[in-house]
Amino acid sequence: MKKQNRLMRHVMSLLLAFMLILPGSVVSAQASGQGDMAVHFIDVGQGLAILVQSGGENLLYDGGNRSHADEVVQYLKNQQVETIDYMISSHYDEDHLGGLVKCLDNFEVEHVLGSDYVHTSDLFNTFMNTATAHAIIVEYPSVGDTYEFGTGSFTVMAPDGISQNSNDNSVVIRLENGNNSFMFMGDAEETSEQDMISTGMNLDCDVLSLGHHGSASSTSWDLLEASTPSWAVISCGQNNSYGHPAASTMEKLSDMDIPVYRTDEQGTIIALSDGDTISWNQEPCNDYTAGDAKQQSTDSSSSQNGQYSGSFSDSASAAVEADTATDTQGRTVWISATGSKYHSRPDCGNMNPNKATQETEAQALSQGYEACKKCW
Ligand SMILES: [Zn+2]
Ligand SMILES: [Zn+2]
C-alpha cells in the first residue's frame, strides 16, 4: 500500500515536472502577465465577436448574432468579465449586433462606440433603447481617434463618412500592444479599404481580422499590401449560406503565404500578445478552401441528416442546437428579415406583412427568432 502511494507520488511529480517544462506553445487564456493582451476570436458561427483583455480592462468588438448571444455572455463570464470598458459595435447588421444587447444587460458597460447611421431594424432600435435604459450614450468616433486600452491603445481607422452600404460603415480599429498590432475590419468592404489607404495612416498589422467574413467584396490586394499581416483570422460559420470565405480571398492569402485561422474549423481562437511576440492557443489551420467549395463537398451528407448535422466546434453550441432540434416542430411560421419574432400568420400586427416570409418553426428557432406573444 505504502509502496503504491510512493509510486503514485513519483508519477505525479514527474507529470508536474513535465508540465512545467512544456514549451510555451499552449498559451493561457488570461492576459495575466505584465504587458499582456489576450485577443479572443469567439466562435459565433456566421458572425463576429472579439473580446480583448489587457491590464484588467475588457474590450468587446461585436457580439455575434442573436442565436449566439447567450454563449457570448457566458464566454465573457468565464473570462471573469464584469465590466466592458469599451463595447464597439462595428455596424448594425444582425450577425454583429445581435449579441451586444444581452451584453448591455449582463455587464457594466463604460463606453459604447458605434457608427453614426440609422439601421431600419427592430434590433437596432432595441440596441439603442437598451443603451439608453442603462444611461449609456453611444459615441461615434472619428477616424484617427485614439483610446488608451489596457497596456496598449486602439485607433479608429474607419468609417470616413457614412455610406448606403451598411458594411462600409463599419468602425475599423487598429489595436496596438507594444510592437504588436491587430486590425479588426468588421464588415468593411473595398470602398472603405480604399478610404483607409488614402488617409496615409499606418495600416500595417501582425494580425488581420478579415473584413466581412472573408467575402470577395473585402480584403483587396491594396489592403493586403498596406497591412502585410503575419496572420489572418476569419470568423465565419460552417456551411454558411454565403459561401464565406470567398475563393478569391483565400487565393490572395495563399499567394501571400499568410497563415490562416478560421473559426468555422477551429472554434474560438486566442492570440496572446506580450508586446513583443504573439502566441496562439492553437496552430493555424491554413485551410485555404473557400466556403462554397466546402459546402459542395458536404452537401450530400447534410441533406441526409438534416440541418443539425455537422460537427460543432464547441460543446455549448452543440447543446444549444441539439435542444432546438428536440423541441422542433415542422409547422410553418412567418418571419420578417428585420424582426426578432416568428408569427402564426402573415398579418400579425407585430410584423410588416410585406416583408413576411415562410419558414418552418425549426428554421426560425435556429436563426434566433422567438415566438410572438401576440399571435401564439
Ligand atoms: Zn454586415
Ligand atoms: Zn457580418
User: 81-95: per-residue pLDDT in tens?
Assistant: 999 999 999 999 999
Using a CB cutoff of 5 Å, list residues around ligand 2, an ion.
Answer: 95, 187
> Residue 330 corresponds to which amino acid?
G
Determine the distance separating the centroid of ligand 2 and the alpha carbon of 7, expressed in angstroms.
56
Chain centroid to CA 39: how far?
11
Determine the distance separating the centroid of ligand 1 and the alpha carbon of 35, expressed in angstroms.
33
Mean pLDDT over each residue of the chain, to the nearest integer: 85
Q: Is the pLDDT of residue 140 over 80?
A: yes
List the beta bridge partners of residue 269. Answer: 41
- Local structure of 155: helix, strand or coil: strand
Determine the distance separating the centroid of ligand 2 and the alpha carbon of 217, expressed in angstroms.
12
Helix then strand then coil, in percent of the chain rounded to 5, is 35, 20, 45
Determine the distance separating the centroid of ligand 2 and the alpha carbon of 19, expressed in angstroms.
40
Say which residues have a Cβ less than 8 Å from residue 135's Cβ, sequence separation at least 6.
Answer: none
Note the pLDDT of residue 369. Answer: 77
The ligand that comes nearest to the alpha carbon of residue 167 is: 1
The ligand that comes nearest to the alpha carbon of residue 244 is: 2
Note the pLDDT of residue 11. Answer: 54
CATH (one of 3.30.70.20, 3.60.15.10, 3.40.190.10, 3.40.50.300) for 37-295? 3.60.15.10
Determine the distance separating the centroid of ligand 2 and the alpha carbon of 81, expressed in angstroms.
24
Q: Is the pLDDT of residue 363 over 60?
A: yes
- For residues 331 and 78, what is the distance between their CA atoms, to the nearest angstrom? 37
User: 259-289: per-residue pLDDT in tens?
Assistant: 999 999 999 999 999 999 999 999 999 999 9
Q: Is the pLDDT of residue 146 over 60?
A: yes
Determine the distance separating the centroid of ligand 1 and the alpha carbon of 258, expressed in angstroms.
24
- For residues 276 and 282, what is the distance between their CA atoms, to the nearest angstrom? 19
Distance (Å) of CA 118 to CA 123, 126, 170, 186, 212: 11, 12, 13, 17, 20
User: 60-78: per-residue pLDDT in tens?
Assistant: 999 999 999 999 999 999 9
23 versus 201: which is more confidently predicted? 201
Task: Provide the pairing of β-strand 356-360 with 152-158.
Answer: unpaired
Q: How confident is the model at residue 129 (pLDDT cuts 50, 70, 90)?
A: very high
Note the pLDDT of residue 183. Answer: 98
User: 4-21: per-residue pLDDT in tens?
Assistant: 555 555 555 545 444 444
Q: Is the pLDDT of residue 181 over 50?
A: yes
User: 302-346: per-residue pLDDT in tens?
Assistant: 433 333 333 333 334 443 333 333 344 677 877 876 566 777 777
- Joined together, the cell numbers standing for residue 164 give 448606403
Residues of each domain in the chain carrying CATH 3.60.15.10: 37-295
Among residues 276, 282, 287, 279, the alpha carbon closest in space to that of 253 is found at: 287
The ligand that comes nearest to the alpha carbon of residue 188 is: 1
Q: How confident is the model at residue 216 (pLDDT cuts 50, 70, 90)?
A: very high
